[in-house]
Amino acid sequence: MIPKIGYKLKMLCKICQLITDLCGSFRIFKYITFRAACASLTALMISFVFGPRLIKYFKSMQFGQMVRDDGPQTHLKKEGTPTMGGILIIIAILVPSLLWCSLDSVSVWLVIIILIGYGALGFADDYTKIRRKRSLGVKGKYKLFFEIMLGFIIGSIIFYLSGIKKEEFSTVVQIPFFKEIIPDLGLLYIPFVILVLTGSSNSFNLSDGLDGLAIGLFTITIGTLSVFAYCAGHSVIADYLGIIKISGAGELAVICAAMVGAGLGFLWFNGYPAQIFMGDTGSLSLGGAMGMIAILVKQEILLVILGGLFVAEALSVIIQVLVFKRTGKRVFLMAPLHHHFEQRGWPESKVIIRFWIIALILAVISLSTLKMR
């Protein structure tokens, strides 16, 4: 079934290419910037059209969010708000990606695999919470095992392709601010991919605790990565900036644009006060996709800077657990980090906006690395 669909899609691409060659006015569809804009608008429209319907359906099915009793007391009123909104985000990304991206791009398909794979894991976690009516879903060890196995598969594919499609895939790592330091990890790139994917997905998951916080941070981060993807895919710009030239990376800019549109569309309903939550269906899939894009455009290390708030959220949890186990004391009033500021008396909306501002500053710093090397 899948090979037949793939064959039909490939034939459709060839027909579209023939029409483009015959009619000059259709050549605009060759431009990455035009297709990126179309992908973003398509994702936005899908979100606006199907968002209200999905919210209404989830309410009728009583797919409501379970809230922790030990969390901020102001969050108790959010009990029952529809969750699993990540389904809407994934659909709003997949449809324009299949419409506007080149389906011959292996990189695009790798992103789609991660998006669906991690999304399926998140869905299983969300559904378990709803069915058992508690805030704990799939056991952490099972989730981690699945993430590691999927990361191993993706890492192995990239390692294999680096030997036959060197212009698109490699096992080198680009260090921000340094032009000449480009270490080749070789076989070690596989565990490196696992680390990036599991780290980005779980840190994003920890950041999803306030209305609109995680999706806002994601939109800023993936929008910045789209710039890196476009630059890496453009030979002239890549040579001028001294970054690794990656054949076909421009197609990743298109799928990134779809993610931006889907993110903004979801934020329309997820902004404070939220009408729907993305759940683990959204947070795991988006976090994994974010890490996958960074891997494919060779900005894995930069993601630590660009996604600095995701890193801070994850570190706050790790530090809190380790210190509490050793001393019985808490470093933060509550972890993850955004809850610490809530406990200090910051209104939820203020925490969200200030985190967005910091994310924008980190995005500017990250973009500056394009020339500061």
> For 164-202, what is each residue's pLDDT tens digit?
888 889 999 988 887 778 899 999 999 999 999 999 999
Q: Are 55 and 21 part of one and the same domain?
A: no
What is the pTM (predicted TM-score) of this model? 0.89
Q: Is residue 45 part of a domain?
A: yes
Q: Are 23 and 41 part of one and the same domain?
A: no
Q: Is residue 316 part of a domain?
A: no
Q: Are 61 and 9 part of one and the same domain?
A: no
Q: Which of 43-47, 58-62, 123-127, 314-318 has the lowest mean pLDDT?
A: 58-62
Mean pLDDT of the chain: 88
Q: Are 25 and 37 part of one and the same domain?
A: no
More confident residue, 133 or 221: 221
> Which amino acid is residue 247, in one-letter code?
S
Q: Are 289 and 162 part of one and the same domain?
A: yes
User: pLDDT-derived band of residue 1, with 50, 70 and 90 as boundaries?
Assistant: very low
Q: Which of 162-171, 264-273, 300-309 has the lowest mean pLDDT?
A: 162-171
Please tell me the predicted confidence (pLDDT) of residue 308. Answer: 95
Range of the domain at 98: 32-301
- Residue 276 scores a pLDDT above 80: yes
Q: Which residues pair with 64 in a beta bridge?
A: 82
- Residue 284 scores a pLDDT above 80: yes
Q: Are 171 and 111 part of one and the same domain?
A: yes
Q: Is residue 275 part of a domain?
A: yes
Q: Are 12 and 124 part of one and the same domain?
A: no
Distance CA 139, CA 13 (A): 42
Q: How many structural domains comprise the chain?
A: 2
Q: Is residue 25 part of a domain?
A: yes
- The answer to whether residues 55 and 49 touch, using CB atoms and an 8 Å cutoff, is no
- Residue 2 scores a pLDDT above 50: no
Q: Are 2 and 136 part of one and the same domain?
A: no
Q: Are 148 and 5 part of one and the same domain?
A: no
Q: Is residue 352 part of a domain?
A: no
Q: Is residue 345 part of a domain?
A: no
Q: Would you give the DSSP letter of residue 82?
A: B
Mean pLDDT of 255-262: 97
Q: Is residue 357 part of a domain?
A: no
For the stretch 5-57, pLDDT in tens is 455 545 555 555 555 555 555 567 678 899 999 999 999 999 999 999 999 99
Q: Are 146 and 286 part of one and the same domain?
A: yes
* Per-residue tokens: 338: 């955004």
SS3 category, 183: coil
**Which helix H or strand E contains 52, and what residues bound it?**
helix 32-60
Instruction: Tell me what percent of the residues of the chain surpass a pLDDT of 90.
Output: 64
Q: Are 128 and 238 part of one and the same domain?
A: yes
Q: Are 155 and 295 part of one and the same domain?
A: yes
Q: Which of 168-182, 207-221, 225-239, 281-295 has the lowest mean pLDDT?
A: 168-182
- Residue 162 scores a pLDDT above 50: yes
Q: Is residue 36 part of a domain?
A: yes
